[in-house]
Structure 1
Amino acid sequence: MYNKITMVAALLLASTQLANASSGAAWDALYAKANGTCIGQSRMDTPEASAPVVFNDSIGKVAVLLRGTVGKSKSKVNLICLYDKKSGKAAIEEFKWLGN
């Protein structure tokens, strides 16, 4: 009986550590894909990007806010990018803050 409990506890502990270790890498990979896709599609030279905002799985989207210049324009543009986790595609739209 003691051996079974020890074995189950060891398996649970090992699987928890593996899940946590791969989870961090998986999140980092998702953030890199979302940022790379959004920045690439923005056509901005060197945009500032927010930390990704991950929506729950029922939505399946990651949002990234971008700010920078497009082409030869000197005025700053604010873009919001919605990255779809399943398809890997992104949709980008310009946005303005309230009052601006």
Structure 2
Amino acid sequence: MQTSKVKISDVIYNAATSSFEALVTVYGEHMPRKYACSIDAPIALPFEEAAAGLKRQALRRHKAETGMFSVISPNRPAPRAGRAPRTLSTWIKSLSTLRDDRAA
């Protein structure tokens, strides 16, 4: 079994739902994926146990490749239009096709 690096960010306790919540980033083979995780637990639960539960949930979802996650893909420029590069000779030929009053 391959182990993945995990980063847990901004763990909070949501009193309305009685749960710990965090954004958990799992660094896999290709790109990091971010999962919004939540575990139901009382506020008296030690932080280490809450973090371990959030980590387990993220790894389980990462392994099963289910649910919603966020991925930041690398920025790649859009492909350019398929147009031949303009050379000096083609530019001069295009000038010769212009009417006499528009030529330089």
TM-score range, shorter chain: 0.3 to 0.5
Tell me the TM-score normalized by structure 2.
0.37
Q: Highest Rg: 1 or 2?
A: 2
Normalising by structure 1, we get a TM-score of 0.38
Q: 1 or 2, which has the higher helix percentage?
A: 1
